[in-house]
Structure 1
Amino acid sequence: MSSPQTGPGSEQQRAEAHEAEQQAQAPEQKKQWAMTSAQEPTAMSGWLAFAGSLILLVGIFNIIDGLTALLRTDYYIVGAGQLLVFNFVAWGVIWLVLGVLQVATGVGCLYEKEWARTTGVVLAALVAIGHLAFLAAFPLWSLLVIALSVLVIYGLVVPAERARA
């Protein structure tokens, strides 16, 4: 003979009793669950991915510019005395620092960090202004980097697809 606690239906009965007890104890919790909406998984904004990749690329370009300005000053069209401001050593350090910061910011943008958007806009503006001053040394390259910086700024300030004001 089996007792009610060890019988074949006892596990199912205990589970049903436990469920009924939970339902009776927490009606408020059920209401909260019913009123909240499920959050949709958010995908990365296409513009943010574009801007993050582009700022990463421009950062690498600026690192190359910095190394070139430090190591091969004869590569540029004008001499150090004909630059608008500073000399090639100063520009080399400026481009290296800005390039490293841009690479870090580009990685932050690809990981969707909010600080990276703001930092990216500021760095892209600084790089565009810097290349405007560096225009005499390497005009075509400077114009290209200025155009890429403007694209970076646009990509970082465009709101996400489902953003609310």
Structure 2
Amino acid sequence: MAQTASPSGPSRHTSQGGDGRSAAGSAWAAGGAMFAGVVLLVEGVMSVLKGIAGIAENDVYARLGDYVYKLDTSAWGWILLLLGIVLAVVGWGILKDAPWARATGVVLAGINIVINFMWLPYAPVWALVSIALCVFVIWALCTAGSDTP
């Protein structure tokens, strides 16, 4: 921790990492990465639940209007179920600071954005919320330093 003298009073403490970022910025990035792991874990569990609902009952989701991506809700259910399992595993990996988890999390969050865009006619509000959360996950995982979880 470095001390800098202030002309108007007591010294002020600043802390910087080796790359010049402040400790507060590193803490924010670390907290963002931790939150990204939690969001991916929760997003995965929610996708599993959406997938199970789509597989179990073919009429659970009603499509709004005519849409290009016409898949049976059972097919969507399987897609969401498998993606949800992988998202939950990667979210857990991020929380455990696994070396493979960050890059995989960014890629899967991007895939989840595309899948949720295609899912828009079935659950528009939840799809938009999921897209927004995944954009945050990508930002948080890309800005977090390699020395933070």
Q: Secondary structure at the match of 2:51?
A: helix
1:123 has 2:129 as partner: no
1: CA distance between counterparts of 2:109 and 2:80? 12
Q: Identity, % of aligned pairs?
A: 33
Instruction: Report what 2:43 is aligned to.
Output: 58
Cα distance, 1:139 vs structure 2: 0.7
1:88 has 2:59 as partner: no
**Does the Cα contact within 8 Å between 1:48 and 1:156 map onto a contact in 2?**
yes
**Does the Cα contact within 8 Å between 1:65 and 1:96 map onto a contact in 2?**
yes
**What 5-or-longer segments of structure 2 have no aligned partner?**
1-26
Q: 1:76 aligns with which of 54, 58, 61?
A: 61
Q: Secondary structure at the match of 1:75?
A: coil
Q: 1:151 aligns with which of 121, 133, 136?
A: 136
Q: 1:70 to 1:132 in 2, by over 3 A?
A: same
1:118-158 CA-partner distances (Å, limit 9, x unpaired) = 11111111111011011111111111111111111111111
**Does the Cα contact within 8 Å between 1:128 and 1:149 map onto a contact in 2?**
yes
Q: Give the paired residue count.
A: 121
Q: How does 1:100-119 map to 2 (within 5 A)?
A: 100-119=85-104
- The structure with the largest strand share of the pair is 2
- Cα root mean square deviation, aligned: 2.5
Cα distance, 1:74 vs structure 2: 2.1
Instruction: Report what 2:82 is aligned to.
Output: 97
Write out the 4+ residue segments of structure 1 that deviate beyond 6 Å after TM superposition.
Answer: none
Cα distance, 1:59 vs structure 2: 0.5
